[in-house]
Amino acid sequence: MAQTELKRELANRHVQLIAIGGTIGTGLFLGSGKAIQQAGPSIMITYLIVGIAVFFVMRALGELLLSKAGYQSFTDIAEDYLGPRAAFITGWTYWFCWIMTAMADVIAVGIYVNYWFDIPQWVPAIVCLIILLGLNLLTVKNFGELEFWFALIKVITILALIGIGIVLLIMGLKTDAGSVTIRNLWEHGGFFPNGASGFLFSFQMVVFAYVGVELVGVSAAETSNPEKNIPSAINKIPLRILFFYVGALFVLLCINPWTELSPAESPFVKTFSLIGIPIAAGIINFVVLTSAASACNSGMFSTSRILYSLSKKNQASPHFAKLNKNHVPGNSLFISTLVISVGTLLSKVIPGQAFGIVTTISAICFIWVWGVVLVCHIKYKKTRPDLQAKSKFKAPFTPAINYAVLTLFAVILIIMLFAEETRPALLFTPLWFILLFILYSIRSNKSNNNHDINTINPKG
């Protein structure tokens, strides 16, 4: 007999590490170099602002997910509060932006492996996809285990950096870049060396750095004890943001004057090299490789679950709702992996621009998804006071904070319009939403016509 329901196999340690893995990724390890060059030491404020906004999005999502036992993802929430059209657009948009992100990461896997082996980039990329697909097809527990160990590697690396950095700061060690001192935060052009424009233009990469934090919500349907695990993971997000982002950047910028960091290389590699670890480049290359594989793994998981959810809602092919004997949506995993593999082709067609374009589009689409969560929470408070009164995980400062975060997201999109690097992707992205509107209208008209035919000829 065909399986029809996802299996709840994610334990608390899986959920906790998925939450950590979702807030530490390529945006920090790779993108922070470029963001630092734009904003200087003030990049810490950018990470703090966006991190606080994302936390309130997650609090809203957590309350909504726990308000109704049948919710499996935020597409279900969007359908309840904004209608089937919004659910269709949000679900496919979430699938699309994770596809774009996973494409970038699978390209990166090939680049990182080239550090050790002189082979074509597409070979390790395809091998990585096949291995991750095989593991994800077995059980959802395998996804949880993969993310557990991937996240653990990231955490250990940042802990090592912060620990060593604090020791060097206390010692006042001198490196090739100068003295390790807190004065590096303001002695090289000030805390805002590139003025307001540099500070504002750094928001795009920082938004991308937080992509994936909502995986706690996507995994809700496969969490063994969502009432306990989801609030626990969400409530720890602020401390993780302060420690893993702001804390890591604080140490980096105390060891290195921001002027010494290049946007073309990871600031983590530079820092470990400066503090005298001879195999630093190899260590960080391995960490960044696992980070890219982790992001790709998350992309395969989330896109397959979104397709499953869309299919269950009759907004995608019914084939995507079929589960294998391990309660995993195998068809959805296969098609998502196939589309992600297109990333290997993009690396040949537009190698210089591919990563920047797809990450910008991904950030824009995630702003849409996060915005939908906030709007749904506003409607939830207005239309379902009965559920809100019974909630054991109420989002704080609502609805005022919802409107404040929505305003911040709107401002970030406007900033992207003025930045030359992000403007093309911002102008392209509306075409995706127009396409979804058209597809939904065609699908609705076809469904209505079939309903009319069945009404006239119920036996036919």
Model pLDDT, residue 152: 81
Model pLDDT, residue 373: 94
Model pLDDT, residue 432: 93
The residue behind tokens 């993310």 is 147
Model pLDDT, residue 83: 92
Model pLDDT, residue 301: 79
Tell whether the torsion through CA atoms of 406, 409, 415 and 416 is positive or negative.
negative
Q: What is the C-alpha to C-alpha distance for residues 300 and 68, in angstroms, rounded to an integer? A: 26
Amino acid letter at 144?
A: G
Half-sphere exposure at residue 53, Cβ-oriented, CA atoms within 13 angstroms? 26
What dihedral do alpha carbons 410, 415, 421, 422 form, nearest 10°?
10
Question: Which token pair is 97?
Answer: 């932006």
Alpha-carbon distances, residue 151 vs 56, 76, 202, 244 (angstroms):
23, 28, 25, 12
For 100-142, write each residue's pLDDT tens digit: 888 878 877 877 787 788 887 778 888 888 888 887 777 666 6
Give the number of other Cβ atoms within 10 Å of residue 45's Cβ.
Answer: 16
pTM of the prediction?
A: 0.85
Residue partners of 137: CB distance under 8 A and separation at least 6:
324, 326, 328, 330, 333
Model pLDDT, residue 381: 94
Model pLDDT, residue 82: 94
The residue behind tokens 């499996």 is 72
Model pLDDT, residue 460: 46
Model pLDDT, residue 1: 38
Flag residues of the chain having pLDDT under 50: 1-2, 460
For 140-163, write each residue's pLDDT tens digit: 666 677 777 877 887 888 888 888
Smallest CA-to-CA distance from 71 within 309, 303, 298, 388 is with 309
Task: Give the rounded distance of the alpha carbon of 277 from its chain centre.
Answer: 31
